[in-house]
Amino acid sequence: MRYLCLLCTVVFTSILFAQTTPKTFKNPILTGFYPDPSICRVDDTYYMVNSSFEWFPGLPIHKSKDLVNWEKIGHGLHRSNQIMYKDGLKNSNGIFAPSIRYHKGTFYIITTMVGQNGNFIITAKDPAGPWSDPMWIKDAPGIDPSLFWDEDGKCYYTGAGIIDGSNREWPGKNGIWMQEIDPDKGILLGKPKQLTYGHASNARWAEGPHLYKINGEYVLLIGEGGTSEFHAVTIFNSKKLWGPYIPNHANPIMTHRHLGYTYPIIQTGHADLVQTQNGDWWSVMLAKRPVDGYSILARETFLAKVEMTKQDSGITPIYNPGKGLLQIEQERPNLPWTPVPQLKTIDEFDSENIDLEWNCLRNYKTPWFKQVNGKMEINLRPQTVNEWKNPSYLAKRVKSHHFEASTNMEFSSKKENEKAGLVLYRKSSIHYQLMKEKNSIVLIKTIAKEVNAEKGISEIIAEKPYREKNVALKIIGDGLNAKFYFGSNKNDLQQIGDTQDLSNFGDEIAWGFNGTYVGMYATSLGERSKKKALFNWFEFKNSK
């Protein structure tokens, strides 16, 4: 009888496992604003880092056992005194295109701080942190650096830029250069060498380099074409470390540039490769999912299977063999299915530390927010979301075209300049504010009137009288539409203003490299204030 029970348990567990372990996965593997992915493997665990631009904490780091389920474990830039994002740091400036690598017990992230000090390296023994202070690299022009260790133990820096003065030969000409580096001191050694200018004459914006040694051959993987409609992944082959690096005849090895703007996945590029413990190859890269022609979620992280082939050009990665394109759904990697904890939909601000999903614009010298007795307390400060500064705005990435964000807030003021509430934000010139002011609830729209404009025009869309201290606020996003609500509690809400258009949030109008966020905001509009706004909870969920 005991044996029979044990047998039944084993059979039931096997059936349950078979039922709960999917055969396929869905792209993207990181939804929302997660561009420029870089990946490495240590034993059976995978680590990935993404660009963060003007958002802080910067350099989000995820880990996974199966390349599909990813858990955020920390940030490479997580201390306010680790690096300073100065006032005036523009939209989409800041932390560009990082690369994460592991060598002899140490994790390395190398990246660029555009608009300030250039390229730097940080290190950690544990990828969850703490990470070191930046080691700024002298005489390292350009962007998108990466590290490569050869079999002799020497390390090499590859970066995007022109170092031989030939950048004016055609519009958008860029290239990849290399130099030996001491990665533990951040010091370049020897002389630099230009490796390539792209895969063809008149190629544009060669960037995002990663160097590998595969089956005794050096393979240089790069992004090209600019991160919009002509984006692509190309490779170069060489028998020797210093080249020559010859464009592969299969180039571009991954692109959707030929599919037009109506395809469900567009603008693929900026890839990195990783080999599993089983010997299989996979690639992460960025791409976009437009809705009715507008990419409001910006660039996300996708996964593709790669087959390493040997062709006339040398080692040639074939992306999604038989398809050649990114897939919305495909067979998952041959790795143990390892789900991770689901992100909580409601933050009641009762944990020991602030949740890793919260970001702010640029960083702060001293925190202006804190969790107190199950509430998030945010100081009203002079800075606003319309400026290139660090406003009192605590926000999360929007990760779906269909979402709901709501909160319950305690706030009152007798001054016209003091207000607090929710903000749906793409950049300083494009956002919506749902705010409680002196005696009213107001919906404010800030929209740039021209493509890629850095200054927006603000206007009051609607205003309703409201005198209570406590208010519930809610934003519902549905494709290119957004609705805004307020009321005395979450079960008694009324819409304010008409349905609003989110097409301006799309890359096609907003441009730039950042993504869409939603969160809690408080400001005193240029004047000093001692006021605080208390947020009792914040709920964010995908509605589809």
Residue 270's closest CA among 108, 68, 38? 38
Residue 419's closest CA among 446, 388, 393? 393
Task: Pull the structure tokens for residue 76.
Answer: 């490479």
Place of tokens 């040694």: 213
DSSP codes, 9-73: HHHHHHHHHHHHS-SEEES-SB-SS--S-EEEEETTEEEEE---BTEESEEEEEEESSSSS-EEE
Give the C-alpha separation, 12 to 21, whole Å: 14
Whether residue 486 contacts residue 464, with contact meaning beta carbons closer than 8 Å, is answered with: yes
- Distance from first CA to last CA of the chain, Å, rounded? 47
DSSP codes, 456-485: -EEEEEEEEE---SEEEEEEEEETTEEEEE
Place of tokens 């880092």: 49
Residues 415-429: b if buried by 16+ CB within 10 A, e if exposed: eeebbbbbbbbbbbb
Task: Pull the structure tokens for residue 105.
Answer: 């017990």
- Give 500's Cβ-side CA count (13 Å radius): 28
| Positions marked active-site | 36, 207
Whether residue 168 contacts residue 115, with contact meaning beta carbons closer than 8 Å, is answered with: no
- Give 165's Cβ-side CA count (13 Å radius): 0
Report how far Cα 167 is from the mean position of its chain's Cα atoms.
29
Residues 44-75: b if buried by 16+ CB within 10 A, e if exposed: eebbbbbbbbbbbbbbbbbbbbbbbbbbbbbb
255: exposed, middle or buried (Cβ count in 10 Å: 0-12, 13-18, 19+)? buried
